[in-house]
Amino acid sequence: MSRQVLTPDALTMMDAIARTGSFAAAARELGKVPSALTYNVRQLEDALDVLLFDRSSRQAKLTAAGEELLSEGRRLLEAMDAVANRVKRVATGWETQLTIAVDGILSNTTVFELCEAFYALRPEGPGTRLRLRTEVLAGTWEALTSGQADLALGVGISSDLQANMDIHVQPLGEIPFVFAVAPHHPLAKWEGKISDAELMRHRAVAVADSAQRLTPITVNLLPGQDVFTVPTTQAKLEAQLRCLGCGYLPEPVAREHIAAGRLVVKATERLQAVIQVGYAWRSVSQRDVASREGSAPKATRQPPVGLALRWWLDQLESAATRKALLERHSSAWRRT
């Protein structure tokens, strides 16, 4: 019985009475006669077996139970409006949820600034829920290819996985790596290039690949070398600042600390790496589009992309955005 009387109309009535302060004023606002509102309130009270209004007052004064119903009722009305708006937005092409896998090598600050801009698209927002995942190395690809993410930022351009026809890849740019140690690390005073034999004598700090099914990627680790494994690039930086090991760091990540003398760059015999990274997204295949439309695949037709994903792809076309994702790791960094 309670569910039958707790309707949107009943909750709207309670809200109107509370806002206007009287049954008569609420009736005028709702286009009803006061006696109809009085009857509806009585029905609601009987169904809930509580008093919602204090009858000893000449004004429409809520009881404690009435205050609670009003508070929860307003919340439910807002939730129902939000659902209706979300359904309308989905019908117009906005995805219900967009999941973005971000490799920890990219600028976290820039990613969150993009999220702020996305949520500010409209006064009420675009209606798409964003979900961020932090991944490392092959884990970023895996999140995308397994369907756990719709967009992947920071994928390795050289990966064979981009051959998948349903995955589109665009470049972000290059990230150079430098071998760096804390000033009080034994290798900080090493003269000349450091050989692999010498590196073997020192603990390396490595970021664990987050892939669960794809083959994990191992970079610049020597067989038999002592390794301190950490979960993120920022954790690797912290470990090397604390002299817990040595290793290669993305130059933009280490730049501020190198300039401040908290890290020392050393030359090694092995080649200093420069990696190509990009962003990738999945889309509906031409075969799937054709099967739904009952027509043969057309080579010129582009697979559909939701409006939320399209917005992110549009931002990534900006050279300034791509540069910020690669380089904005220093607190002193500013857009140019």
Query: What string of H, E and C letters represents the secondary structure of 202-259?
Result: CCEEEECCCCCCCCCCCCCCCCCCCEEEECCHHHHHHHHHCCCCEEEEEHHHHHHHHH
What's the pLDDT tens digit per position in 291-312? 334 444 444 344 467 899 999 9
Mean pLDDT across 60-65? 87
Task: Judge whether 285 and 165 are in contact, CB under 8 Å.
Answer: yes
Question: In this structure, are 181 and 35 located in the same domain?
Answer: no
- What DSSP assignment string belongs to 41-82? HHHHHHHHTS--B-TTSSS--B-HHHHHHHHHHHHHHHHHHH
Question: In this structure, are 204 and 327 located in the same domain?
Answer: yes
Percentages (nearest 5) of helix, strand, coil residues in the chain: 45, 20, 40
Does residue 182 surpass a pLDDT of 50? yes
Q: Which of 48-62, 129-143, 293-307 is least confident? A: 293-307
Indicate the residue among 76, 91, 106 that finishes a domain.
91
* 314 membership: H or E segment, kind and range: helix 307-316
The whole-number pLDDT of residue 153 equals 96
pTM of the model: 0.68
Indicate the residue among 67, 91, 115 that finishes a domain.
91
- The length of the chain is 336
Residues 6+ apart with CB under 8 A from 202: 185, 186, 187, 226, 245, 246
Enclosing domain of residue 86: 2-91
Indicate the residue among 42, 66, 91 that finishes a domain.
91
Task: Round to whole Å and give the CA distance between 85 and 106.
Answer: 34
Question: In this structure, are 76 and 99 located in the same domain?
Answer: no
* 99 membership: H or E segment, kind and range: strand 97-103
What's the pLDDT tens digit per position in 269-290? 887 788 899 999 976 543 333 3
**59: CATH:** 1.10.10.10
Task: Round to whole Å and give the CA distance between 237 and 254.
Answer: 7
Question: In this structure, are 85 and 110 located in the same domain?
Answer: no
Which single residue is written with the structure tokens 């610049």?
220
